[in-house]
Amino acid sequence: MALQLPVRAADVLSGAYTNGLRDEIAFGNGDLIRSLESLGIAGPYKTVSPWELEDLRGQRKINAGGYAAIPFGDQFPPLIEFLQSFLAQDRSIGLPQQSASHWRAALETNLVALLTQFAPSHADSRVFFSNSGTEAIETALKFVKAARPKAKEIINFKGAYHGKTFGALAVTPNNEYQELFRPLMPNVTTLPYGDAAALESTIKQLGADKICAVMLEPVQGEAGVIAPPDGFLAEIGRLCRKHGILIIADEIQTGLGRTGHYFASIAAGLEPDIITLAKPLGGGILAIGATIARKTIFNKTLAGFSSKRHSNTFGGNSISMALGMKCLELIIDNDLPERSARLGAMALERFKVLKEKYPTLLEDVRGAGLLIALQFRTVLPPKMIPGLEELVGELSGALGVRMIYEGGVVANFALSSKRVARFTPALNMPEDIFERLVSNVEKTIHGYKTANTMLRRMPLDRLIRLGRLGFAK
């Protein structure tokens, strides 16, 4: 009997397959899709322009989502045209694990050249490619462990988000994500973010020879766009240099233009030993992770016949490297960091006016370039339902994302902050669409005014479904 698959690729491509929502619930991460469906934001969507989506009801939305991984919008024509040319003309092998690769070499060269313009000490640094940000973090952790084998402790910070694979999860201090999977990688010390004195005290307490590395984000994205106090990153750098401790800067979300800088850590006065990159390198089409490390550190893991000690089957594949090169060119040729800083400052100023006008809806507004957060008040008094404060906070953030969506804008949840909606629009979004994005948010906020209104306007049946999912284990 010949096997038959229920869905053919041609069915999806032609639009004949229309059961994506149903089948995701049945065969995928069903409760996630149920949660999104209860909020009315589950899609599936189709692309109207690189910066606008259309939902199943035919309503057009401006896409400020994508978790900073869509630097040019969806299906940006220059990227699609480049990929078509690549597929038509290139004759490189797809997975050059055991050979040199022009594409991999070219992207390595360009990344080191770009970094060296801002941090000359990285002129001889090396690059290791993987498939995602969390894999880039795993690589960085192995690099520092090999470089300082007698120093066991990794210092991280409260609110950090570095990923959910096993090593990355150990340095992502979020009990919801960690609890089921303990014991995790040991010897992780978590300090308050923004408190350099806490690091200095910890160095004295543990001893510098016991601390392998400090890992940090120059702006904490998933914590709700938390920027440290002025001088914090520079002081962390000074302390680490003084004591010979390595520094990993997680620039997966902040790097290559999102915050208004190519490297937010370096712009703030920190010169890391290792930088991890990912999201914008893939252009919203392919997944690319990159770990850039000083040569002396890199060679402690990958030297001589031990150069195969760490590897990645798909990392450095030719089509991803080619796309990464094109993405880097588009960011630089169009000076997208400058654009991000300018448009982000305009939006932030206007959103701060909303915070002052509606303090019972918005608790705070924060931003760094085109990484912007609205933090909501709780939809119910925090102590109204004892023991469920966290759930009420999560509901408040979810209803905030829903409210913004109803106003015509797709926003992101903040994975480590319960009451935050984040905006990560494409760095090249046309200014008229960006103006409409900001105006839509303003009009939506004007129409709600208080956090409790978000709760009262949620259909009861959807609220009940959300409640059931909130108590699911």
Q: Helix, strand, or coil here: 151?
A: coil
Q: Average pLDDT for residues 301-317, to the nearest whole number? A: 94
Predicted local distance difference test score (pLDDT) of residue 359: 97
- For 319, half-sphere exposure in the C-beta direction (CA atoms, 13 angstrom radius) is 14
Q: Across the chain, what does the average pLDDT equal?
A: 95
Q: Could you tell me if 325 and 351 lie in one domain?
A: no
Q: How many domains does the chain have?
A: 2
- Residue 92, judged by CB atoms within 10 A of its CB (0-12, 13-18, 19+), counts as middle
pLDDT digits (tens, 9 = 90+) for 179-197: 999 999 999 999 999 999 9
Q: Average pLDDT for residues 31-39, to the nearest whole number? A: 93
Q: Average pLDDT for residues 157-174, to the nearest whole number? A: 97
Neighbours of 273 (CB within 10 A): 26
Position 387 confidence tier, pLDDT thresholds 50, 70, 90: low
pLDDT digits (tens, 9 = 90+) for 388-404: 778 888 899 999 999 99
Predicted local distance difference test score (pLDDT) of residue 39: 93
**Residue-wise DSSP of 251-297:** -TTTTTTTTSSS-HHHHTT---SEEEE-GGGGTTTS--EEEEE-HHH
- On the question of pLDDT at 385 being above 80, the answer is no
Query: Is residue 422 one of the residues assigned to a domain?
Result: yes
Q: Range of 146's domain?
A: 90-333
Query: Is residue 2 one of the residues assigned to a domain?
Result: no
CA neighbor of 346 nearest in space, from 441, 435, 229: 435
Position 473 confidence tier, pLDDT thresholds 50, 70, 90: low
Neighbours of 182 (CB within 10 A): 9
pTM (predicted TM-score): 0.96
Query: Is residue 369 a contact partner of residue 340, using CB atoms and an 8 Å limit?
Result: yes
Q: Could you tell me if 324 and 383 lie in one domain?
A: no
Q: Could you tell me if 311 and 350 lie in one domain?
A: no
Query: Is residue 398 one of the residues assigned to a domain?
Result: yes
Q: Could you tell me if 112 and 249 lie in one domain?
A: yes
